[in-house]
Structure 1
């Protein structure tokens, strides 16, 4: 009988300890602040056989010319994620590549490549266009139509 009483006492102690532990863990789960997540950032994830960079942003891959780089555009109006030629003003509204949110993107033309008007970075005009992949819009403008076409044709989702 003494052994049975000791086993019952041990089971009760273990149950009480388990309830206390569950209470502490539950309290911490419901009272801690959730971790803050940094906004998504585009990054170069490789190169093509001919040297173009592969850039990835929110599960979308796109090829950009070898001399393009990520532009720090956090202080600009609109999207902070952009790429363009070195020396391009990060806030320039008329050249480069923008990763935009599809839910707020509004344009006056259909997807694909279109003539771009004369502007500060396109003094002789140029080409512009966009494609949408999921909730990301890849919007690009450049003086060279072949560059715009290649960028838009390269857009794909990562596997």
Structure 2
């Protein structure tokens, strides 16, 4: 199943149990996406032609003193905005908007920079019910396209799964890191650092996304003792206390535990963990 088909299938599965199923939905959505992209490329060709012709006209008709060229200043980036569904919040670029996408009779609200990107699962953010969301990959940021340009992934927040894709891995990761349940802190996922120790290597938001003045004592990645069939005494996804979320997986011959300020950050950090198979020691490595 292609990346596009998987995400479309997730929309149909998560949003409506009585929605129509079948490969025709994905194929129809893809055809519509291709047609819109061709129209956009065609329109871009016209604009490119005008851009090429305009300087020629100036050079042909201009006289002395007309050789100056004016350039419009780059507009300032719009502040990021907060979107929500149920009790989940996510930060997205300020120029993204909400679009009602129609998949041959079944519609869903998806966010993106344009309708073509959002409804074609190019650059987008979408919410799914976590109980029915069943992707083939574990949470985190995943390379989507064969050429490695588009980056997509998902995380859990509250009772929802949040999925996003862009052509920039850092942008995708920043969006996903901000996913949170109502009342949880807004995570700054704009800067990440690589941390090593105890035979572990992982990426985490600088200061766990909370800033240097926050209390960061409870957040770390730990290598734990125990065989594959003898997991630590904790659930796969548990909440410990008021502000620490723990994700546990078996990696490289050891159990790995991530304690993070939100489940989304825990998912992203866990996806980045690279344990050293030659190091079977146990211990914790806090981020900075």
Query: Which category describes the TM-score, using the shorter chain as reference length?
Result: 0.5 to 0.7
Counterpart in the other structure of 2:83 = 55
Q: How does 1:86-125 map to 2 (within 5 A)?
A: 86-118=114-146, 125=149
SS where residue 91 of structure 2 aligns? strand
Shift of 1:87: 4.2
8 A contact 1:76–1:90 mirrored in 2: no
Q: CA RMSD in A?
A: 2.4
Q: 1:52 to 1:60 in 2, by over 3 A?
A: same
Give a deviation string over 1:76-133, Cα, whole Å, max 9, x none. 2777121001242543134311111112211111111111114xxxx76311110111
Give a deviation string over 1:109-159, Cα, whole Å, max 9, x none. 1111111114xxxx7631111011132110001101111011111111112
Q: TM (normalized to structure 2)? A: 0.34
8 A contact 2:100–2:107 mirrored in 1: no
8 A contact 1:72–1:90 mirrored in 2: no
Q: Which has the higher contact order (CA 8 A, sep 6+)?
A: 1
| Structure 1 alignment gaps of length 5 or more | 1-38, 40-49
1:157 aligns with 2:184: no
Distance in structure 1 (CA, Å) of the matches to 2:115 and 2:181: 29
Counterpart in the other structure of 2:166 = 142
Q: How many residues are treated as equivalent by the alignment?
A: 106
Task: Give the 4+ runs in structure 1 shifted more than 3 A.
Answer: none
Distance in structure 2 (CA, Å) of the matches to 1:148 and 1:82: 15
8 A contact 2:87–2:158 mirrored in 1: no
1:67 aligns with 2:67: no
Q: TM (normalized to structure 1)? A: 0.59
8 A contact 2:117–2:123 mirrored in 1: no
Distance in structure 2 (CA, Å) of the matches to 1:136 and 1:79: 18
